[in-house]
Structure 1
Amino acid sequence: MKKLKITVEGKAYEVTVERMDDSDGSPASAPLAAPAPAQQAAPVKRADSSPRPPIKAGSITSPMAGVVLSVQVADGDEVEQEQLLLVLEAMKMENQIIAPAPSKVAKVHVKAGESVAEGQVLVELE
């Protein structure tokens, strides 16, 4: 018998394996042990789950990796609070990126069809 550690989809399991040298294919005398998780991962805590106050100026960043489907504003546009700035597709869902407060668009950093990373600057407001 051999004790092995196997990882499946990021989960580690300890298993005991019995070597079978029989050529007739008869079953082993003792059944194999069922896999048991080696360790449970600790739940991930968010750094700050409290709502953030709206910003009046600054950068709007991508909340996740995705593809820009459409851009609804241009450099120099005046925007109202909760006005649609752009639509981002991620995990087959359309996510609306909206203005957090009335402001002016200083610079649009992306265009439709562009892939973006989480945290990438999409639009700068002033």
Structure 2
Amino acid sequence: MKKFQITFKGQVYELDVEEISGAASTGKKAASSPVPPSAPAPVAAQAPAPKAAPAAVPAGAQTVIAPMPGKILAVNIKAGDSVKRGQVIFILEAMKMQNEIMANQDGKVSKVNAAVGQTVSTGDVLAVLG
């Protein structure tokens, strides 16, 4: 039997939890009893981690950004490759669907910021085309 203390909606509860190995069970049920709430320990306010500033984009270059959050399934380019407008350069999985991310202009890939398996957020810069 292990004892745990949890707080739910400001109420402190003490739980006794029995570990069951395999399918055997003793038939005992865990009991919970409210514990009088104690004064919560003060938590130091933490400033959110500063978000990395976007890298400077050379004049005339375009960025390819993630239109939605998801996971990169394929990267079809590398730095130095030439691409044509409309060419599929990334496959992004979002909500169990594969979305093609295409080059937004003709040009040369100057930087690739995403890798296969990476999770990206909306607005993340996936590549820079110059």
TM-score range, shorter chain: 0.5 to 0.7
2:115 to 68, 92, 111: 111
Question: CA-to-partner distance for each residue in 1:8-39, whole Å, 9 max, x for gaps?
Answer: xxxxxxxxxxxxxxxxxxxxxxxxxxxxxxxx
CA deviation after TM superposition for structure 1 residue 84, in Å: 1.0
Say if 2:90 is the partner of 1:82: no
- Aligned twin of 2:21: none
- 4+ runs deviating over 3 angstroms: none
- Aligned twin of 2:77: 73
CA distance in 2: counterparts of 1:105 and 1:89, whole angstroms: 22
Structure 1, unaligned runs of 5 or more: 1-55
Structure 2, unaligned runs of 5 or more: 1-59
Q: How is 1:1-126 mapped onto 2 (pairs within 5 angstroms)?
A: 57-126=61-130
Q: Name the Cα RMSD after superposition.
A: 1.0
Compute the TM-score of the two structures, normalised by the length of structure 2.
0.53
Identity of matched residues, %: 41
CA distance in 2: counterparts of 1:77 and 1:109, whole angstroms: 14
Compute the TM-score of the two structures, normalised by the length of structure 1.
0.54
| 2:62–2:105 Cα contact (<8 Å) kept | no
